[in-house]
Chains A and B, each alone.
Chain A
Amino acid sequence: MKHLKATTFLIAAAFAGQALAQEAGGRLDIVVQPEPPGLMLGLVQNGPTQLVAGDIYEGLLRYTTDLEPEPGLAKSWGISEDGLTYTFHLNEGVKWHDGEDFTAEDVVFSADVFLRETHARLRASLAYVDTITAPDDLTVVFQLKEPFGPFISVFEVGTMPMIPKHIYEGTDYATNEMNATPIGTGPFKFDKWEKGSFIHLVKNEDYYVEGLPHLDEVYYRVIPDAASRAVAFETGEVDVLPGGSVENWDVARLTGMDGVCSTGSGWEFFAPLAWMWLNNREGPTSDVRFRQAIMYAMDREFVRDVVWNGFGKVPTGPVASATNFYSDDVTPYPHDPDKAKALLDEMGYSGETVRLLPLPYGETWQRWAEAVRQNLSEVGINVEIDSTDVAGWNEKTSQWDYDMAFTYLYQYGDPALGVSRNYTADRIQKGSPWNNVEGYENSELDAKWAAAATMTDAAERQAAYDEIQREIVDDVPVAWLLELEFPTIYRCNVHDLVTTGIGLNDGIRNAWIEQ
């Protein structure tokens, strides 16, 4: 058997120079973790739902790994000089999975009616929109009230999924029976959901792109235990482990197996950035010197290398390096315990205990919290770890009941979409763990964030964000920890699995299996 493998490998190597022909057919088994609560992407936008529903639903645009827009349901688009009019031309012959035609009316319904009511993140961007109209069946026009720089980035499937008007118009969206059998325009159709076991999708034979998708069927497998998921990949039960589905120490072991590949790509649009909320309102964390001391006390490289097994990148500030308008021209925070101690002395820190709330997402995060506590205690900060479950974490962060709290957030490609929401004073609202939870108030910067969002010229925006990053990094409103990298692990005979900056969530229409 060994011998045979070696021969096959030699033959394969001999042909490797030639481009591989894409082969149609086959089945892919992908882990989904945890089991999604529902698949109707317009109603539920959590990670597992996006992973599965991204095959069923589609957006107007897709985005490359450099975050450049590329055609999706819209084949072309244009933006007026003044940045106020966005015109989209839709692909012809697109059909919903039930056979109805997809038209511009569906786009208007999705964005202006359905998602305006259900999608909190899109709602914030739609505040800039005056009207959405359909001059004809294949043209949609978004008319803005004022220019909004990142507007071209909101047409991704998770942000603005297209919803069938003929099914939802005039119904109670949350209880519509069709939510159980979602209808989209995507490359795969919903077939069956055995709760607790798997979700089965089948090829959309009438997909509007000729020759796509390549795969016949996709099974999303629910395996609740992380160690079991790793074993399921080893035994060949599943072919793909999406980012974050196994613990970090298993990643190295699995990627070391024969015929196993991995990629860190497919997360550029999300650019998950981890940080600690530091309560700016009260206690020692309300003092900027204390917050700076935390930054100097932490050995972030160590955490990246040991806790995250080398995956990820130490951030320079609030904007992740993959996100548009990133700048590294800011004050650096190297591991410098002496400087941390000096800052603590200067402020007169008297050893009060600070509570640290870890993110209850498994072993890695628990160890991370322990590493931070260790670092902070080395410079004399007393840390008490305050553990809870996911619901408790949500409750405590959104009710501001913490001193330091781990979190990580997506950036959605643009500072105005996924960054400013965590730092401007108008986003200080109890009840959500996704806004300005730390309570940072800086009216000068607020004005700069607002101005940068409405600029249309890229160079001008870059300059504005350079300035913002330079200033905010000195204030340390939160303690930036790591740009997370979630490698996707898969068998090497699966090709073109990740082709955009949205990765597996973008629908795996290009994926094919080499037989």
Chain B
Amino acid sequence: MAVLVPVLGRLAKALLTLLAIAVLNFFLIHAAPGDPAVVLAGEAGAADEQMIAQLRERFGLDQPFHVQLGSYVWNIVQLDFGYSFRQGAPVLDLILDRLPATLILTLTAFVISLTLGIILGVAASARVGKASDSLLTTLALLFYATPLYWAALMAVLVFSVELGWLPGFGYETVGANYTGLARVWDVIKHLILPASTLGLFFMAVYMRMTRASMLEVSQMDFVKTARAKGLSGPVIRRRHILRNAILPVVTLAGLQAGQLVGGAVLTETVFAWPGIGRLMFESLAARDYNTILGVFLVSAAMVIVFNILTDLVYRLVDPRIGARA
């Protein structure tokens, strides 16, 4: 119960924040030049006044701005994301359709980068100053500095075009109709390149942060005490240093987790991954208001949920945080 009370308070605040974000998004979207009717007319190769008027009416754009805003907020409160007139489908369906692909990609990248980042960071800090430490930190710096877009294209060129080891595009082999394990394996093969490209950057960040934090904590008095007690090096690192050094890494992981939904636009684009980042980007270009607002809202909700989760993880890692609150 003691844990739940602050969480409930946060949730109430979170809902208000979400509503504020929704309203702000609405203003932002409408501030951009053009609207969905103009875009559709522009694509049609011909347009007259009748066509534009028909489209505006169908999209509800003929209503005064405050009426549009009011009905949008009212729908959101009822968890109704609206209808994408451009794609002829309810926004919620469009989002749910794309969400699994994105989550598979971003979660895989997240788990890989966090695990490898912490392990390598701990390893580097244990060998500080040695050649293997320099190698690891240099590699991390390289991954950190490489633009994602370029790394993605290079990965396709090397592993897909030149070596032919891995498929460079898509989510699964189109038209192969695999089922069961064969399908899982097929998806995994398609996942390797995009997930590693996306994961490398964050792995580098986690590694550098873990290393620095480990080194900092290892200078503290309680570590000297542990050493004086006669504990072995690995035990001190795992139980005393890492436990204290991990907090900033958790903070950063919480931030990355918040981007699980919307943060992979570039990777999805280069690898033709049918995810939600592309849905957002394409809807933005087409001024498909309802769809963009829906994706924005889901992304915002994810950020808030992961902020709360991060707070909970803090308490698990360091029980003192819960006691103070």
Chain A residues near B (Cβ < 8 Å): 27, 29, 34-35, 37-38, 44-47, 120-121, 123-124, 174-175, 179-180, 194-198, 200, 217, 219, 221-225, 227-228, 231-232, 234-235, 237, 388-396, 398, 409-410, 421, 429, 431-435
Q: With A120-B51, A228-B156, A392-B34 as known contacts, state yes or no: A434 contacts B98, CB within 8 Å.
A: no
Within 8 Å CB of A46, what residues of B?
A: 43-45
Chain A residues near B164 (CB, 8 Å)? 235
- Once the chains are docked, how many angstroms separate the CA of A388 from the CA of B286? 13
Evaluate contact between A391 and B34: CB separation under 8 angstroms.
yes
Q: Is the CB of B175 within 8 A of A391?
A: no
Partner of B101, one of A37, A174, A196: A196
- Measured between beta carbons, the chain A residues less than 8 angstroms from B49 are 429, 431-432
For A174, the chain B residues whose CB sits under 8 A away are: 58, 85, 88
CB contact under 8 A between A398 and B42, given known A198-B174, A217-B175: yes
Please determine whether A224 and B50 come into contact, CB atoms closer than 8 angstroms. no
- Complex CA distance for A227 and B98, rounded to whole angstroms: 23
The reply on B235 being an interface residue by CB < 8 A is no
B156 and A231 contacting across the interface, CB-CB below 8 Å: yes
User: Is B279 interfacial (CB-CB < 8 Å)?
Assistant: yes
A512 to B244, CA, bound (A): 67
- CB contacts (< 8 Å) of A398 on chain B: these are 38, 41-42
B168–A235 CB distance below 8 A: yes
Closest Cβ of chain A: how far from B189's Cβ, in Å? Answer: 14
Confirm or deny: B206 has a beta carbon within 8 angstroms of a beta carbon on chain A. no
**Given A46-B43, A123-B48 in contact, is the A228-B85 Cβ separation under 8 Å?**
no
User: Quick one: given A45-B45, A46-B43, are A225 and B272 in contact (CB under 8 Å)?
Assistant: yes
Q: Are B32 and A45 in contact (CB under 8 A)?
A: no
| Bound: A369/B38 CA distance, A | 23
A-B interface, 9 closest residue pairs, ranked by CB to CB distance from nearest: A196-B274, A391-B34, A121-B46, A46-B43, A394-B42, A395-B34, A432-B47, A392-B33, A120-B51
Given contacts A228-B169, A431-B47, A432-B52, contact A196 B98 (CB under 8 A): yes
Contact with A along B126-166 (1 / 0, CB 8 A): 00000000000000000000000000010011001100100
In the bound complex, residues from chain A placing their C-beta under 8 Å from that of B171 are 197
A22 to B112, CA, bound (A): 51
The one of B42, B87, B157 in contact with A433, judged by C-beta atoms closer than 8 angstroms, is B42
Q: Which of A121, A194, A200, A224 is in CB contact (< 8 Å) with B278?
A: A224
As a 0/1 sequence over residues 22 to 63 of chain B, the CB contacts with chain A under 8 angstroms (1 = contact) are 000000000011110011111111111111100000100000
Report whether A120 and B98 are in contact in the complex, using a CB–CB cutoff of 8 Å.
no
The CB with the most chain B CB atoms within 10 A, among A179, A227, A409, is that of: A227
What residue in chain A is nearest B87 (Cβ atoms)? Answer: A37
Q: Do A120 and B50 contact each other (CB < 8 Å), given the known contacts A46-B43, A232-B168, A432-B41?
A: yes
Interface assignment of B170: CB less than 8 Å from any CB of chain A: yes
Most buried by B among A44, A180, A200, A228: A228
Nearest Cβ in chain A — how far from B93, in angstroms? 10
Q: How far is the CB of B238 from chain A (nearest CB, A)?
A: 43
- Residues of chain B within 8 A (CB-CB) of A395 are 33-35, 38
Residues of B within 8 A of A180 (CB): 88-89
Chain A nearest CB, measured from B5 CB (Å)? 42
Residues of B within 8 A of A219 (CB): 174-175
B298 to chain A, nearest CB (A): 16
Q: Please, how many angstroms separate the alpha-carbon atoms of A46 and B161 in the complex?
A: 32
Selected from A175, A217, A237, A432, the residue in CB contact (under 8 A) with B169 is A237
Which residues of B in the span 92-142 have a Cβ within 8 Å of any Cβ on A?
94, 97-98, 101
The residues of B with any CB-CB pair to A shorter than 8 Å are 32-35, 38-52, 58, 85-89, 94, 97-98, 101, 153, 156-157, 160-161, 164, 167-171, 174-175, 268-275, 278-279, 282, 285-287
A131 to B87, CA, bound (A): 34
A224→B285 CA distance, assembly (Å): 13
What are the residues of chain B within 8 A of A194 when measuring CB–CB?
Answer: 274
Complex CA gap A391/B40 in Å reads: 9
Interface SS of chain A: mixed
- Residues B272 and A37 in contact, CB atoms below 8 Å apart: no
Q: Knowing A221-B174, A391-B286, A395-B34 touch, does A231 contact B168 (C-beta < 8 A)?
A: yes
Complex CA gap A408/B52 in Å reads 20
Q: For residue A435, which residues in chain B have a CB less than 8 angstroms away from its CB?
A: 47-48
B39 touches A231 (CB 8 A): no
Q: A231-B156, A392-B33 are in contact. Are A197 and B174 (CB under 8 A)?
A: yes
Known A234-B161, A398-B42; contact A35-B88, beta-carbon cutoff 8 A: no
Contacts of A217 in B (CB 8 A): 175
Determine which of B156, B157, B175 lies in contact with A200 in the assembled complex, contact meaning CB atoms within 8 Å. Answer: B175
Bound state CA distance, A175 and B88, in angstroms? 7
A304→B140 CA distance, assembly (Å): 45
* Bound CA–CA A195/B276 (angstroms): 11
CB distance A37 to B174 under 8 Å?
Answer: no
Give every chain B residue within 8 A of A196 (Cβ-Cβ).
Answer: 98, 101, 273-275, 278-279
Beyond A388-B33, A394-B34, A394-B38, is A124–B98 a contact (Cβ under 8 Å)? Answer: no
Q: B84's closest neighbor in chain A, by CB?
A: A37
Chain A contacts for B270, CB-based, 8 A: 225, 227-228
Could you name 19 residue pairs across A and B whose Cβ atoms are closer than 8 Å?
Answer: A27-B175, A45-B43, A45-B45, A123-B50, A174-B58, A195-B87, A195-B98, A197-B174, A197-B272, A221-B170, A228-B168, A228-B269, A231-B169, A237-B169, A391-B285, A409-B45, A429-B48, A432-B46, A434-B42
Complex-state Cα separation, A431 to B48, whole angstroms: 8
Q: How far is the CB of A339 from chain B (nearest CB, A)?
A: 35
Point out the residues of chain B lying under 8 angstroms from A392, CB to CB: 32-34
> Of A37, A45, A179, A198, which contacts B86 at CB under 8 A?
A37
Alpha-carbon gap, A429 to B45, bound state (A): 15
Partner pick for A235 among B85, B160, B287, CB 8 A cutoff: B160
Chain B residues near A121 (CB-CB < 8 A): 44-46
Complex: chain B residue closest to A198, CB-CB: B174
Contacts of A198 in B (CB 8 A): 174-175
